[in-house]
């Protein structure tokens, strides 16, 4: 009789481990720093709104299809945007996203969204605004920002309820959409204006996102510098598609406060990023399903994790079924320079993976111990855009979150 475990035994242990890890990652206090509001819409809400909006059958089909490319994901956003038509719906979505994060054990979230004017001609049901008046665009977009913040507020409740320990502390980042910024120079300026206006009211920074094949650095550069000169924190979607070296060089030169994705870094840029030490927002399932990364094992999380700051405890895994590649990877850990790595969901409605699942996948794929995962989550605290030195609300939120890690 061979003492090698049978395939069935291995499967059994794997299943058990999966259960244990799921329980652990759900209970683990988690920090979400890269989630797009409309991409995180509750699926049942999306189905309902798509139906109410009369989205034709063939367009709605994308909502049920498997994603195989980033461009498919962008068609999905098109359908979401057609389905979400009113400010009240934005408020409801914002509230639900917070509730869903809380249910998944997320204790702090920076949710990002692109301010849209829901009263413009593409939304003819818009609430009776005159058109052609100067500033219309900003008014509509401002109302959008207010509507998201209102959703956060309804989630948080009032008075004592607000600081209840189980509440997810939540902040907003405003997104500049690459394609729109290319079409109209006002787009980036409006977003920066709004971020400045609402910065003590829940907005903590800016994001550059949207279809990475659209627009170019010159379309938003000036506004990013303006935002920074006013003290706004900035995160950039970077190197999400191949052949983005030239743009990546500009981004590195700009040196934002955080980077998202970074799937296609050249060796030279990888070294520069590592040296810069800025936090990286990494979205495993998003990158795999949109085909920016071949599979989980090849996700660049592994490459960066070798260098990421981490606890030097080396806790022993309960069920170590890791391949030799993983063992080699695990033994190479221990250097403490590099970038804080933040696991994030990106668009949980589109990619169907809550943050607890992303942690479980990281644990399984990269052979992390529970202690490693805890430390990974805890150090995400250092990467938020909160400003506790200036804002009382930020100080309170930070304290609440800190307590969850004790
Ligand atoms: C780049 C993305 C994205 O802003 O309407 N977005 N941008 N890369 C990604 N990787 C998959 N996922 C989402 O949320 C939806 C918008 O977020 C951006 C896109 O601009 C998308 O239209 P909001 O709340």
pLDDT in tens, 351-403: 999 999 999 999 999 999 999 999 999 999 999 999 998 999 999 999 999 99
Dist. CA 335–CA 149, nearest whole Å: 41
- Residues whose beta carbon lies within 6 Å of some atom of ligand 1: 36-39, 73, 77, 113-114, 175, 177, 209-210, 212, 237, 240, 286, 290, 346-347
pLDDT band at 163, cuts 50/70/90?
Answer: low
Q: Which atom of ligand 1 is nearest to the CA of 177?
A: 20
Q: Quote the pLDDT of residue 177.
A: 98
Residue 165 pLDDT greater than 80, yes or no: no
ipTM of the complex: 1.00
CA-closest residue to ligand 1 atom 7 = 210
Q: Contact 188/223 with Cβ under 8 angstroms?
A: yes
Q: Mean pLDDT, to the nearest integer, of 83-111? A: 97
Q: Give pLDDT tens digits for 32-73.
A: 999 999 999 999 999 999 999 999 888 888 888 888 899 999
As a 3-state breakdown, the chain gives helix, strand, coil percent values, each rounded to 5, of 55, 10, 35
In this structure, what token pair is assigned to residue 352? 């169907």
Dist. CA 18–CA 88, nearest whole Å: 39
Ligand 1 pocket: which of 38, 181, 208, 209 to mutate (most atoms <8 Å of CB)? 209
In this structure, what token pair is assigned to residue 287? 């990158």
Q: Quote the pLDDT of residue 121.
A: 53
Q: Quote the pLDDT of residue 320.
A: 32
Residue 306 pLDDT greater than 70, yes or no: yes
Q: Give pLDDT tens digits for 243-271.
A: 999 999 999 999 999 999 999 999 999 99
Residue 230 pLDDT greater than 90, yes or no: yes
Q: Contact 352/67 with Cβ under 8 angstroms?
A: no
Q: Quote the pLDDT of residue 311.
A: 53
Catalytic residue of the set 21, 110, 240, 358: 240
Residue 126 pLDDT greater than 50, yes or no: no
Q: Mean pLDDT, to the nearest integer, of 281-296? A: 96
**Considering the chain, what percentage of its residues have pLDDT values greater than 70?**
86
Rounded distance from Cα 275 to ligand 1 centre (Å)? 28
Q: Contact 31/111 with Cβ under 8 angstroms?
A: no
Residue 322 pLDDT greater than 90, yes or no: no
Rounded distance from Cα 37 to ligand 1 centre (Å)? 8
Q: Quote the pLDDT of residue 282.
A: 98
Q: What is the pTM of this model?
A: 0.89
Rounded distance from Cα 190 to ligand 1 centre (Å)? 18
**Lowest mean pLDDT, pick from 64-78, 262-276, 321-335:** 321-335
Rounded distance from Cα 114 to ligand 1 centre (Å)? 8
CA-closest residue to ligand 1 atom 19 = 210
In this structure, what token pair is assigned to residue 178? 């690459």
Rounded distance from Cα 113 to ligand 1 centre (Å)? 8
Q: Which atom of ligand 1 is nearest to the CA of 81?
A: 5
Around Cβ 241, how many Cβ atoms within 10 Å? 17
Rounded distance from Cα 28 to ligand 1 centre (Å)? 27
CA count, 13 A, side-chain hemisphere, 396: 13
Q: Quote the pLDDT of residue 9.
A: 81
Residue 303 pLDDT greater than 60, yes or no: yes
Residue 87 pLDDT greater than 90, yes or no: yes
Active site residue 240: yes
Dist. CA 112–CA 156, nearest whole Å: 17
Look at residues 268, 231, 234 and name the one whose alpha carbon lies nearest to residue 248.
268
Dist. CA 163–CA 158, nearest whole Å: 9
CA-closest residue to ligand 1 atom 3 = 210
Q: Quote the pLDDT of residue 1.
A: 52
Q: Mean pLDDT, to the nearest integer, of 80-89? A: 97
**Lowest mean pLDDT, pick from 125-134, 235-244, 353-362:** 125-134
pLDDT band at 11, cuts 50/70/90?
Answer: confident
pLDDT band at 295, cuts 50/70/90?
Answer: very high
Q: Mean pLDDT, to the nearest integer, of 168-195? A: 97
Rounded distance from Cα 210 to ligand 1 centre (Å)? 5
266-289 CB burial, b ≥16 within 10 A, e <16: eeebbebbbeeebbbbbbbbbbbb
144-163 CB burial, b ≥16 within 10 A, e <16: bbbbbbbbbbebbeeeeebe
Q: Which atom of ligand 1 is nearest to the CA of 36?
A: 14
Higher-confidence residue: 22 or 101?
A: 101
CA-closest residue to ligand 1 atom 5 = 38
Q: Which atom of ligand 1 is nearest to the CA of 175?
A: 4
Higher-confidence residue: 21 or 1?
A: 21
């Amino acid at each position: 009789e061979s003492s090698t475990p049978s395939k069935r035994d291995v499967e059994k242990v794997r299943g058990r481990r999966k259960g244990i890890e799921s329980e652990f990652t759900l209970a683990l206090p988690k920090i979400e720093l890269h989630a797009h509001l409309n991409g995180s819409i509750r699926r049942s809400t999306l189905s309902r709104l798509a139906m109410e909006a009369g989205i034709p059958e063939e367009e709605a089909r994308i909502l049920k299809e498997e994603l195989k490319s980033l461009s498919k994901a962008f068609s999905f956003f098109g359908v979401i945007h057609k389905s979400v038509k009113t400010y009240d719906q934005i408020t409801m979505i914002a509230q639900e996203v917070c509730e869903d994060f809380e249910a998944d054990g997320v204790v702090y979230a920076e949710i990002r969204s692109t301010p849209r004017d829901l009263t413009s001609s593409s939304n003819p049901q818009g609430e009776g605004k005159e058109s052609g008046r100067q500033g219309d665009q900003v008014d509509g977009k401002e109302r959008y920002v207010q509507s998201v913040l209102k959703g956060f507020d309804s989630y948080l409740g009032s008075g004592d309820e607000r600081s209840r320990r189980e509440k997810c502390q939540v902040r907003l980042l405003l997104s500049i959409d690459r394609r729109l910024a290319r079409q109209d120079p006002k787009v980036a300026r409006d977003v920066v204006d709004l971020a400045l206006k609402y910065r003590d009211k829940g907005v903590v920074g800016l994001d550059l996102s949207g279809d990475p094949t659209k627009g170019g650095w010159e379309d938003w550069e000036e506004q990013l510098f303006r935002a920074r000169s006013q003290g706004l924190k900035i995160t950039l979607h970077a190197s999400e598609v191949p052949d983005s070296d030239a743009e990546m060089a500009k981004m590195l030169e700009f040196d934002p406060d955080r980077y998202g994705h970074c799937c296609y870094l050249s060796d030279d840029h990888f070294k520069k990023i590592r040296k810069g030490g800025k936090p990286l927002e990494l979205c495993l399932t998003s990158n795999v399903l949109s085909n920016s990364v071949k599979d989980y094992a090849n996700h660049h999380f592994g490459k960066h994790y070798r260098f990421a700051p981490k606890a030097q405890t080396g806790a022993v895994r309960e069920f170590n079924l890791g391949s030799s590649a993983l063992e080699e990877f695990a033994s190479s850990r221990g250097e403490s320079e590099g970038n804080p790595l933040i696991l994030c969901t990106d668009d949980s409605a589109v990619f169907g993976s809550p943050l607890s699942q992303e942690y479980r996948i990281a644990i399984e794929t990269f052979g992390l111990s529970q202690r490693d995962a805890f430390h990974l989550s805890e150090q995400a605290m250092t990467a938020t855009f909160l400003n506790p030195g200036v804002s009382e609300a930020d100080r309170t939120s930070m304290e609440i979150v800190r307590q969850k890690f004790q």
